[in-house]
Amino acid sequence: MSQMPTETEMGGRFEPPYNTQFNVFLDNRVGRLLHLVEVFKDQALTLAGFSILESTGHAVVRVVTSRSDLARRLLGRHEYPFSEQSILCIEVDDDHSVADICQQLVTCEVSISHAYPLLVRPRGRAVVAMHCDDIEFAAMVLRNKLFTVLGENDLGENAPGSAPDTELD
């Protein structure tokens, strides 16, 4: 997957607002999820969402924050094994449902590999995180159909009614 901007019909460049999803690998032991969540507590970021994929011996926790650079440093400092991937965060409201998102993407033959709701509600609206096989094209299609695609700045301290906590030393 390329992070290069996609050429638009009018010849300009389109670069969607990206969000970074961290896939954190945890042993299935009591208290491991609590410890992971506490890593982000009292930091200058918002834990915007997470989803847990569990198996017998381990779990993968998908984490989305409002500041991926800080989250990356925190995960490294606490020695969590993780990988990263770009995702889209799309507002859901009365005029733009999850079914509408899926319909637009299937019409353009874009596959959704996974999706989950976020914890935050910027502008009072629900948000769904999605990973697609062609994130740039998916974002362009959704924006052309007047869906609101959010960047990480929209998910936390810069969202209306939010304020950052303390900064990591």
Q: Three-state secondary structure along 4-56?
A: CCEECCCCCEECCCCEEEEEEEEECCCCHHHHHHHHHCCCCCCEEEEEEEECC
pLDDT digits (tens, 9 = 90+) for 5-26: 555 555 566 677 889 999 999 9
pLDDT value for 11: 57
pLDDT digits (tens, 9 = 90+) for 61-116: 999 999 999 999 999 999 999 999 999 999 999 899 999 999 999 999 999 999 99
Query: If one looks up domain 12-155 in CATH, what number appears?
Result: 3.30.2130.10
On average, the pLDDT of the chain sits at 87
pLDDT value for 23: 97
Q: Which residue has the tokens 């997957």?
A: 1
Q: Where are the domains of the chain?
A: 12-155
pLDDT value for 10: 54
- For the residues 159-163, what does the mean pLDDT come to? 48
- Cβ neighbour number for residue 18 with a 10 Å cutoff: 17
In this model, does residue 164 exceed pLDDT 70? no
Asked if residues 50 and 119 have their Cβ atoms less than 8 Å apart, the reply is: yes
pTM (global) more than 0.85? no
pLDDT value for 4: 46
Q: Which residue has the tokens 């050429």?
A: 7
Q: Which of 106, 105, 102 is nearest to 140 (CA)?
A: 105
